[in-house]
Amino acid sequence: MEVTELPISDAWLFTPRKHADPRGTFLEWFRTDALESVTGHRLELAQANASVSRAGTLRGVHYAQVPPSQAKYVTCVSGRILDCVVDIRIGSPTFGAHAAVVLDDVDRRGLYVSEGLGHAFMALTDGAAIAYLCSTPYTPAREYGINPLDPDLDLPWPPGLTPLLSDKDIAAPSLHQAAAAGILPSYADCRAFYDSLRPLGSGAVRS
């Protein structure tokens, strides 16, 4: 499995090796050792989610309070999506920046989004099915969102699709409004939390 760190620190893309024969294809879409090699800790699986979306559906930008927030390992099992990781950590060198990747049922890549980062995606095909492995259960009282159409974020949603948002995501604040309201995680708190997850003697170093 090939691992690539995204321009936003603490987010990685995992590209599996596919084994094909006349029957079809086999692959390992998640490996805990591959993830641990870059994060320095295991993913504590607390919840597994799935969503199926029509083309143009836009979900996010979602995040949760740190600690414990919620780390996510995301893959697209059917169809195609544009997935965006947004650095919303106050004090981060890349605060307000994003990294965008395509997840689909061809390359079958996985995306790991660390605690405190924002996550959003747009379905590029009808019936886009997404599977998420989550480090903590969904807890509404500590869940937040930022409007994915915030012009200051300038996320690269395809112009040929009309965005379909939930009422909650439409009403979400902009990044600057969320910062002014004091509801964004801090980079220092996130770094301290990441370190707390690593066992003593771990060889992985987070950038």
Q: Which two tokens stand for residue 180?
A: 């002014």
- The strand order across the sheet containing 98-104 reads 98-104, 80-86, 118-123, 58-64, 143-145
pLDDT for 114-127, tens place per residue?
Answer: 999 999 999 999 99
List pLDDT tens digits, range 55-76: 999 999 999 999 999 999 999 9
Mean pLDDT over residues 92-121, rounded? 98
What's the pLDDT tens digit per position in 129-144? Answer: 999 999 999 999 999 9
Does pLDDT of 92 surpass 50?
yes
pTM, two decimal places: 0.94
CA distances for 92 relative to 10, 13, 58, 87, angstroms: 11, 20, 26, 8
User: Which strand (E) or helix (H) includes residue 10?
Assistant: none
Catalytic annotation, residues: 62, 132
Q: In Å, how far are 73, 111, 156 from 14, measured between CA atoms?
A: 10, 6, 21
pLDDT of 205 reads 47
Helix, strand, coil tally for the chain in percent (to 5): 15, 35, 50
- Residue 157: pLDDT above 70? yes
- The token duo for 194 is 């990441």
Q: Is the pLDDT of residue 202 over 70?
A: no
For the chain, how far is it from start to end, CA to CA, in angstroms? 21
Alpha helices (H) in 30-118, listed in sequence order: 32-39
